[in-house]
Structure 1
């Protein structure tokens, strides 16, 4: 997995002069679109955090379960209120071979312990058990990541919900995964696999097929690959395939320019959408644009493929950073950012430490406040549309289990808190 810096440099390295200036502008803006690229990397590195504390909550008794799925507070709330399925299935054992190693076969047992499925998420916890031969090829204490590199998930209608390899028939989906718990003594590992997409079907049966487990250890460049043949089938409970939404209507709003077009509640979250009329996207400061073009013309060096060299990219980025904090460009950019950001929300910024009171949130009639979720499956939009409107769409961690019939959506519109009272449609 490349670092966010490497990803950004690779992105920059594949654009020419005009696009470099545009991409730098996007990098500079602290919008969710930038955080979107980083969050998947962060999700993977959660494995180190979970691994460090994993044994404390892994392999535990049913009485002390507190579900943490790595998909945001909404999913965790739903799971802890019963929106999760324990399979109680038997372990499926396989004698595996270890690629590039001449040792006895390693016996590996695999099963799915629990799972969650909604419109956007398919969250699965795999349990793996190994025999003593595993110690000859893998150091449990140094496992950084495990990948089921040829995993294919399908349902009873042969719809491919997830494919680790390219498959033109598969639903376009993403993945975050991490090792939730690991025990060298028990030779067990809990692997959390979170798949997500724009819309999952209401499947009633799921099939998980994979033949390779790839282990990445902290001090090794090459992966250790166990080859077997696993086929795990599970029934989907009715609460998942008969999932439904509840809707809210507007009772009152402190701003008559707000047009609310979505207020939808599910088992795992609350989605809110509105447009603001008479909003016009500001023009990017011409002086800043010209200053950046001058930097590109002066320091940009192309290689034989017509791409910027790594060294020239670093120099241009440094010079553009210096330009952005120098007067009068700094003041121009601050003015532009303020005009270009009608809605102030934690969902917009990389800095997630901002006070909830200064952003947007939804509140039930008990006074409980719910922020936007940081789930990778989160639906959000912050954009100017149709020339004179601004579209705001966000997903919050309030669920069916903590919502009330009357709720209030609080929106920070250009520094002023606006209140939208909503009532559940019966």
Structure 2
């Protein structure tokens, strides 16, 4: 007899993408502070909570602020030791979903330092995904009159200039470098522009999400106003509102003052990529038929909402009468749109997949959608309506390999004449649900 013992490996959590942590105040011991944690889910799973570590000594009477997407909103938060736990009604969160959780009412640690946060998504007590955020720096001194502006706020714009302004608080400590955070995805070869106070010299580098202005030496005897212009940057390609955390440093990188600027919004456009043509074919039998477009490339839309408005959007389809030039199909009851290639009467919506990171659109449309044709000026029919607060970023609707591809259906009456019928189909995406 031979005995075989099998050891089942423990499932390991996937890594959260784009994990970030920002704070409304960076002075140690500050009260009434808001922390915002954002990340992109790596694994499709039911989730019931998210945990986020904070520095030792963090305190306060915590409450929930703004949470997205809407599916995970409406929860509660608790602080135990160095862990914030945000709990909500269990819901399935798809891979690629962008999540943002704001927690209010916090009191910062009293210990100067630079801290990251470990964020974990939880399903019924078991970790699903885990990630480590970018760092937040807390200092004893607080910069004032903070500001940040960009010469262009269009996503992906090149050769942009960013200008950071602030006034120092701590005196009689020499400043040798200054760091300024920028949105994830910022690129380019930065160069130094106009700087106040004049004559500081120095150089600037970009690493990850941090610009570092170094090679300077200034001993402020009174609070001193700074303005630092950085040229040669390429904007993030992800729409959103971004603050900048600014930190002044002394010898050997010693922390002096810090602060957080008001947010700058980077925006783009709202676009839809639709099939360039549709192909439907059948052999007439003398009976009514429902035929569907079986070409995989025709079974999806890709919608990219980079407006950062949160207004939602809707897709409309209009079509002229299907005609051979001599014979026509009826305008009513002929053209149908649904989330199925197996049934023209399916009540399912097309599947949703984030292209990279998105807030998945939540449709309010009822399926199937009947598209009434007309010889001229056909009336558009809404085939997908993303509710406000959803559909931000780039998402694919349907897809030939998904459970619910887009189904383009034609109902052909039994008395239809043989021939090649054509129609001009127009697909449009419009802001607003």
Q: Which band: TM-score by shorter chain? A: under 0.3
Question: Whose helix proportion is higher, 1 or 2?
Answer: 1
Question: Whose strand proportion is higher, 1 or 2?
Answer: 2
TM norm structure 1: 0.23
| Greater radius of gyration (CA) | 2
Structure number with the bigger relative contact order (C-alpha 8 A, sep ≥ 6) is 1
TM norm structure 2: 0.23
